[in-house]
Amino acid sequence: MGGTYNIADLFESLALAIPDRVALVSGATRLTFAELDRRADRVADVLRGVGVAAGTHVGLHLYNGHEFVEIMLAAFKLRAVPINLNYRYVAAELRYLVGDADLVAAVTERDLLPLIADAAPGLPVVTTGAEYDAAVEKARPRGDYPERSGADLYIIYTGGTTGMPKGVMWRHEDLFFAGLQGGRPGGDPVKAPAEVVEHALDPDNAMHVLPAAPFIHGAAQLASWISLFTGGKVVVQPGRSFDPKRVCELVGEEGITTITLVGDAMARPLADRLGETSYDTSSLLAIASAGAVLSPAVRDRLQELLPETLILNNFGSTETGHQGSAFPGSDTGAEGRPSFMMDALSIVLDDEMKPLAPGSGRLGKVARSGHLALGYYKDAAMTAERFVTIDGTRYVLPGDMATVEADGRITVYGRGVNCINTGGEKVFPEEVEEALKAHPDVFDALVVGVADEKWMQRVVAVVQPRAGTAPTLAELVSHCRERIAGYKVPRQLALVAEVVRQPSGKPDYAWARAVAESAS
For residue 418, what pLDDT is reported?
Answer: 82
pLDDT digits (tens, 9 = 90+) for 141-198: 988 899 999 999 999 998 654 457 899 999 999 999 999 998 888 778 888 999 999 9
Residue 485 scores a pLDDT above 90 = no
Residue 377 scores a pLDDT above 90 = yes
CA distance 412 to 404: 9
Same domain, yes or no, for 478 and 490? yes
In a domain, 293, yes or no: yes
Count CB neighbours of 38 within 10 A. Answer: 15
pLDDT digits (tens, 9 = 90+) for 92-101: 889 999 999 9
CA distance 434 to 454: 26
CA distance 475 to 208: 43
Point out the domain boundary residue: 372, 392, 416.
Answer: 416
Exposed e or buried b per residue across 357-369, where buried means at least 16 C-beta atoms within 10 angstroms of its C-beta:
eeeeeebbbbbbb
Same domain, yes or no, for 178 and 47? yes
CATH assignment of the domain containing 346: 2.30.38.10
In a domain, 356, yes or no: yes
In a domain, 412, yes or no: yes
Which of 18-22, 213-217, 272-276 shows the lowest per-residue confidence on average (mean pLDDT)? 213-217
In a domain, 2, yes or no: no
Domain that holds residue 448: 419-519
How far does CA 411 lie from the centroid of its chain?
A: 20
CA distance 422 to 420: 6
For residue 29, what pLDDT is reported?
Answer: 97
Count CB neighbours of 471 within 10 A. Answer: 19
For range 247-268, the mean pLDDT? 94
Do the strands 492-495 and 321-326 form a parallel or antiparallel pair, or are they unpaired? unpaired
Residue 1 scores a pLDDT above 50 = no
Residue 321 scores a pLDDT above 50 = yes
Same domain, yes or no, for 398 and 449? no
Same domain, yes or no, for 84 and 35? yes
Point out the domain boundary residue: 221, 241, 261.
Answer: 241
Whose CA is closest to 2, among 132, 151, 130? 151
In a domain, 231, yes or no: yes
Residue 502 scores a pLDDT above 80 = no
For residue 160, what pLDDT is reported?
Answer: 52
Same domain, yes or no, for 135 and 232? yes
Inter-CA distances, 16 with 3, 19, 145, 199, Å: 16, 6, 17, 14
Point out the domain boundary residue: 382, 416, 450.
Answer: 416
Count CB neighbours of 86 within 10 A. Answer: 18
For residue 2, what pLDDT is reported?
Answer: 53
CATH assignment of the domain containing 263: 3.40.50.980
Looking at the structure of the chain, the number of domains it has is 4
For residue 162, what pLDDT is reported?
Answer: 47
CA distance 216 to 210: 15
For residue 121, what pLDDT is reported?
Answer: 94
Bridge partners for 27 per DSSP: none
Residue 419 scores a pLDDT above 90 = no
Q: What ranges in 3-89 are assigned the alpha helix state H?
A: 7-17, 33-49, 66-77
- Residue 40 near residue 74, CB atoms below 8 Å: yes
User: Residues of the chain with pLDDT > 90: what percent?
Assistant: 74
- Residue 472 near residue 257, CB atoms below 8 Å: no
For residue 467, what pLDDT is reported?
Answer: 94
CA distance 155 to 83: 6
391: left (phi over 0), alpha (psi -120 to 50) or beta: left
For residue 503, what pLDDT is reported?
Answer: 64
What residues have CB less than 8 Å from 10, skipping those under 6 apart?
1, 176, 193, 196, 229
User: Residues of the chain with pLDDT > 70: what percent?
Assistant: 97
For residue 359, what pLDDT is reported?
Answer: 94
Same domain, yes or no, for 458 and 362? no
In a domain, 322, yes or no: no
For residue 207, what pLDDT is reported?
Answer: 97
For residue 93, what pLDDT is reported?
Answer: 81
Residue 396 scores a pLDDT above 50 = yes
pLDDT digits (tens, 9 = 90+) for 69-87: 999 999 999 999 999 998 8
Mean pLDDT for the chain?
92
For residue 416, what pLDDT is reported?
Answer: 74
Same domain, yes or no, for 61 and 182? yes
In a domain, 469, yes or no: yes
Same domain, yes or no, for 157 and 15? yes
- Residue 198 near residue 31, CB atoms below 8 Å: no
Which of 39-53, 449-463, 466-480 shows the lowest per-residue confidence on average (mean pLDDT)? 449-463
pLDDT digits (tens, 9 = 90+) for 326-373: 877 777 776 677 788 999 999 999 999 999 999 999 999 999 999 999
Same domain, yes or no, for 43 and 168? yes
What residues have CB less than 8 Å from 339, skipping those under 6 apart?
326, 330, 331, 332, 333, 405, 409, 410, 411, 412
CATH assignment of the domain containing 514: 3.30.300.30
Same domain, yes or no, for 82 and 153? yes
- Residue 251 near residue 305, CB atoms below 8 Å: no
Same domain, yes or no, for 118 and 227? yes
In a domain, 318, yes or no: no
Same domain, yes or no, for 141 and 61? yes
Beta strands in 257-354 (DSSP E): 258-261, 286-289, 310-317, 321-326, 339-342, 346-349
